Structure 1
Amino acid sequence: MKLLRLGPQGHERPALLTDDGEVRDLSALTPDIDGAFLASDGVDRVRAALAADTLPALDPAGLRVGAPVARPGKVVCVGLNYRDHAEETGAPVPKRPVVFMKDPSTVVGPYDQVLIPRGSVKTDWEVELAVVIGREARYLDSPAEAAACVAGYAISNDVSEREFQLEYSAQWDLGKSCETFNPLGPWLVTTDEAGDPQALGLRLSVNGVARQNGTTKNMIFGVAHIVWYLSQYMVLHPGDVINTGTPAGVALGLPGAPYLRAGDVVELSIDGLGTQRQTFENA
């Protein structure tokens, strides 16, 4: 299933995109698509209501598409998780996942405007597979247990300011947590429909020029390993989001370092998870 949220920021309505392209209203089942919805078997309730044909149609015309998950408790990121990306940035290939946190308030809709921070000269793009947690993950015994804790997947743009990230602090937070720096969506695609998370193509272009073209099969640490690993150090709650890393092709590693400027348009896609499109403007 493809779950989404439609409407003005802060007032989105939960919805379902059916296989035949119809949009159904989920408001009678839940006030929102969030951690509480996922923790209370919300996906199964939607599936049952769809089978019973009790979900009313919703006209999406003119409605903004919000992030498919409301108010994630945390956004956990894994850096340097593709060998080619580590190589292009001059970093060693990590022996353990490189983990950092991103301010959850950075999460915006997939077509929302992204703001280049004041003073920024190195704002960069990163197409990533996002994992949305559907069941608490705490001290999992093995990666094999991870699948039961995942609600689904979405596209994430882990926007980064490289000067803030790499030159202003020993940690990466400053360059990762600027406002609007995590477009997410358009859909939360449930695990049964998304298929193998290690067999998805990722693509990103800037102003129509292809910049990233990779596949999740080239992750150094796969989704199951990441969820298991993180559960050893923090409790993952329903609604939490994990950004799993980006393949090569970011501005930091390209000749001339073509960082983003006001007016630039970034388009992203992942197989089966839809597309994003953002225009970047100055804050």
Structure 2
Amino acid sequence: MKLLSYRLNDGMYFGPKVKKEEAVWDVLSIQETLQVLPSFPKTIIEGVSLDIDFIEQIRKLVEAALKTENPNSFKHLFTEIEWLSPIPRTPKNIMAVGKNYAEHAKEMGGDSNAFVVFTKASTAIAADEQTLSVHANKTSSYDYEGELAIVIGKKGKDIPTKLAYDYIFGYTIANDLSARDIQDKHQQYFLGKSLDGSCPLGPYVVTKEEIPNPQELTIVTKVNGEIRQNGKTSDMTFSVEQIISNISKIVTLEPGDVILTGSPAGVGKGFNPPRFLKSGDIVKISIEGIGTLVNKFE
């Protein structure tokens, strides 16, 4: 199931993509009108915490809408909505693994065997199709990093690697935008990774049953149509399950937490000379099974 969050008439909503249509089911409206379920989450984070039960509830709501005389009254075309990040706000900072691909570690001048974790402020979250700033008044080296992101579905601590899959709700696409000069100046990641809009996510959260093996995905990043990154998640130093297990040894994971899993080689800093983002650039990040995250920069 592909879930998205959106704004319509000043309200924030969520729902599943309509199969074979460029539209979303308004599940909150279905529940309010038809009273299919005894109760239903008002926010996507509340829903994510229900894990598989949330998915089953949504399926029941869609089935009920399809049985009505006018199912289209419960749909919104993509052209009618404003896209939001599928997870509009995380419970804590976004967590991210650094240098998790050997070739990327090499181009950045680091060790790919170390388990490096940093965070990005939750205020950095942005959406698919959102126009973002290159923050020219703050940085001259704004860089892109296409990544697979994990959405956690249930609370956990000290999670064994072999059980980590059970704690995944789904996956989305992230662009771990980074101000390299700020990173260098402060000798750590947080400030350079947390400029407003520096973590676009989307377009969907794809529930985990649709991606049986997250280590067999292709990640392609294009800047103005030119392929810059073309990697495979099979090249990760630490797998999705290892990432969840390792982080949970220190941090209690909660429903709605987002973990970025690292970026393949091909970032702007890796070129000679570097090729950082500038006003007018369009970045498209595609991961098979999820879709394409698109942002224009100004």
User: How does the TM-score come out when normalised to structure 1?
Assistant: 0.93
CA contact (8 A) 1:6 1:60 kept: no
Higher gyration radius (CA):
2
Aligned pair 1:242/2:259, yes or no?
yes
The offset of 1:169, in angstroms, is 1.3
- Which of 38, 42, 52 is residue 31 of structure 1 equivalent to? 42
Name the counterpart of 1:19: 19
* Structure 1 residue 65, shift from structure 2 partner: 1.3
Is the alpha carbon distance of 1:128 and 1:10 closer, same or farther for their aligned partners in structure 2, counting shifts above 3 Å?
A: farther
Aligned to 1:46: 58
SS in 2 for 1:121: coil
One-letter amino acid matched to 1:163: D
Q: CA deviation at 1:255?
A: 1.8
Q: In structure 2, how many angstroms separate the alpha carbons of the residues matched to 1:186 and 1:31?
A: 20
Instruction: Quote the residue 1:232 is aligned against.
Output: 249
Which one-letter code corresponds to 1:43 in the other structure?
A: I
State the one-letter code of the partner of 1:106: A
1:86 pairs with 102, 105, 114, which one? 105
**How many pairs were matched up?**
277
C-alpha distance in 2 between matches for 1:178 and 1:119: 9
Structure 2 alignment gaps of length 5 or more: 32-39
User: Residue 119 of structure 1: CA displacement?
Assistant: 2.8
Pick which of 263-272 and 15-24 moved more: 15-24
Q: Is the 8 A contact 1:133 1:150 kept in 2?
A: yes
Residue 172 of structure 1 aligns to a residue in which SS?
A: coil
Cross-structure match for 1:99: 117
Query: Cα RMSD between the aligned structures?
Result: 1.7
SS at match of 1:115: coil
**Residue 213 of structure 1, CA deviation:** 0.4
Between 3-12 and 182-191, report the one with greater CA deviation: 3-12
Amino acid at match of 2:27: L
Structure 1 residue matching 2:203: 3-state secondary structure = coil
Q: 1:9 to 1:111 in 2, by over 3 A?
A: farther
Q: Could you say which residue in structure 2 is the equivalent of 1:57?
A: 75
Tell me if 1:156 matches 2:174.
Answer: yes
Structure number with the higher helix fraction is: 2
Maintained 8 Å contact 2:27/2:61: no
| Correspondent of 1:115 among 133, 149, 165 | 133
TM-score (normalised: structure 2): 0.88
1:173 alignment partner in structure 2? 190
Look up the SS of the partner of 2:293 in the other structure.
strand
Report the alpha carbon displacement of residue 9 of structure 1 after superposing the two structures with TM.
10
User: Secondary structure at 1:108's aligned position in 2?
Assistant: strand
